[in-house]
Structure 1
Amino acid sequence: MSTDIQDASDRQWLADLRATLTDDHAAQTVRLTELTADTGDPGEAHTRGALIAATRMSLARIVDALGRIEDGRYGACERCGAQIPPERLEVVPHARFCMPCQQKHHG
């Protein structure tokens, strides 16, 4: 998806993606609310803490992707500016980097 989306199917794909990410955000928000409710079981504290951290990270990625959609930057690699292949975005909708830059970023 280019930063200058011209094709109607691309616009529809982006609208569908925005709706999916928005639904995911709502679901993750509910999950975070449930996880942060005190169950009173100290044995679950470590596991619950890890789940809370993972859920917060997921929410941050979703918010970031939604921001890039709104700003018209979605689908462009944040490092080199190249277009991220649609196949990658289908699998990892919050991807910020193309594969070569992702590999450089994470070694």
Structure 2
Amino acid sequence: MSVDIEVPDQGRLAGLRASLSEDFATQTTRLKELTEISADTGDPGEAHNRAALVAATRHNLEQITGALRRIAEGSYGRCEKCTGPIPAERLEVLPHARFCVPCQQKHKG
């Protein structure tokens, strides 16, 4: 999916919004299933794996929610740090990207 940052294509954004909404529903169902699993097998490794899956799923939901919020606000595709455009190629790979590559590298470093 290609995202034009300078002149947002409403059709593309609508498609992206629909895709993210579908991902949100899938992740919400996954989180519900993971948190409802109450069978304690006594295996600490299994409990650790389940906790890691719950944390990863919550993180995915936060990223999806953030991207949907930015689309609604009209700031999608803009770096939250420098406000420059995030390249369409980056958004195709990471539709929830909040930063351009240089700012992401500074943020992580």
1:61 aligns with 2:58: no
- Determine the C-alpha separation between the residues in 2 that align with 1:96 and 1:104: 13
Are 1:2 and 1:75, in contact at CA under 8 Å, matched by a contact in 2?
yes
Match of 2:5 in 1: 2
Match of 2:51 in 1: 49
Q: Which amino acid aligns with 2:14?
A: A
Identical positions, percent = 56
Q: Which amino acid aligns with 2:94?
A: V
Structure 1 residue ranges without an equivalent (≥5): none
Match of 1:29 in 2: 28
Are 2:79 and 2:98, in contact at CA under 8 Å, matched by a contact in 1?
yes
Are 1:3 and 1:74, in contact at CA under 8 Å, matched by a contact in 2?
no
Match of 1:89 in 2: 91
Are 2:67 and 2:95, in contact at CA under 8 Å, matched by a contact in 1?
yes
The equivalent position to 1:99 in structure 2, one of 81, 98, 101, is 101
Count matched residues. 103
Structure 2 residue ranges without an equivalent (≥5): none
Are 1:3 and 1:76, in contact at CA under 8 Å, matched by a contact in 2?
no
- Determine the C-alpha separation between the residues in 2 that align with 1:62 and 1:3: 22
Match of 1:79 in 2: 81
Q: Which amino acid aligns with 1:41?
A: T
Match of 2:39 in 1: 39
Q: Which runs of 4+ in 1 moved over 4 A?
A: none
Q: Which amino acid aligns with 1:61?
A: Q
Q: TM-score, normalised by structure 2?
A: 0.89
- CA drift of 1:4 comes to 5.9
Aligned-pair Cα RMSD in Å = 1.3
- Determine the C-alpha separation between the residues in 1 that align with 2:6 and 2:28: 29
